[in-house]
Amino acid sequence: MIYEIETMTVDRRAMLLAMAIHAGHMRRDGNTPYITHLKDTARRVESFDEKAVAWLHDSIEDNKTTEDSLRLVFPSHIVDAIVVLTKTRQHDYAEYLSRVKENNLARSVKIADMLSNLSDAPTKKQIRKYASGLLFLTMPGSSSSPAANDLA
């Protein structure tokens, strides 16, 4: 059955695109398809928009997908959240988390992403990093980013 892209829900479009973008990619262990991480992240959020962002949260950072190409297919608020979730070398991790915290859609997906990563045999360093990040992202009212040594 052929689906018209305009009739698909936004999360279904995102899932199909993520499957194409990440085809053949593996997790750290070298055995687990990367798409399992995206699926796990998407199952941890509730709305169609959150699920769409969850499926695509690594699409720009890890691939040749561009913001402009995503804007051809997805609403601006979804692409905006994906862009916020894209780590760059211009910002350190604390600055990155501060940007994520300001975007509700990005924040809920990042929390799900961190929980997914914690469920996948993390190193002690990753446990410290994600624990500190989760506290920062879930702490109401605080706009000061976590200490850099907590995120190293």
- 140 in the Ramachandran plot: left (φ > 0), alpha (ψ -120 to 50) or beta? beta
Task: Look at residue 30 in the predicted model and tell me its pLDDT.
Answer: 85
- 38: tokens are 């995206």
The verdict on residue 4 lying in a domain is no
Task: Look at residue 149 in the predicted model and tell me its pLDDT.
Answer: 46
pLDDT at 1 > cutoff 60: no
The verdict on residue 2 lying in a domain is no
Task: Look at residue 146 in the predicted model and tell me its pLDDT.
Answer: 58
Q: What is the CATH number of the domain that holds 97?
A: 1.10.3210.10
> Which of 9-13, 43-47, 78-82 comes out lowest in average pLDDT?
9-13
The verdict on residue 83 lying in a domain is yes
Q: CA–CA separation, 97 vs 81, rounded Å?
A: 13
Alpha-carbon radius of gyration of the chain: 15
- 44: tokens are 């941890």
Helix runs in the chain, H state only: 10-21, 35-43, 48-56, 67-71, 76-85, 93-102, 104-118, 124-138, 148-151
Torsion over CA of 98, 132, 115 and 77, rounded to 10 degrees?
0
By C-alpha distance, which of 143, 141, 142, 146 is closest to 130? Answer: 146
Work out how many domains the chain is built from and give that number. Answer: 1
> Which residue segment(s) compose the domain that 13 sits in?
9-151
pTM of the model: 0.88
**Residue showing tokens 């973008």:** 21
Across 132-149, average pLDDT = 74
- Tens of pLDDT, residue by residue over 74-130, are 999 999 999 999 988 888 999 999 999 999 999 999 999 999 999 988 999 999 999
- Tens of pLDDT, residue by residue over 46-65, are 999 999 999 999 999 878 88
**Residue showing tokens 């920062």:** 136
Range from 5-9, 87-91, 120-124, 139-143 that averages highest in pLDDT: 120-124
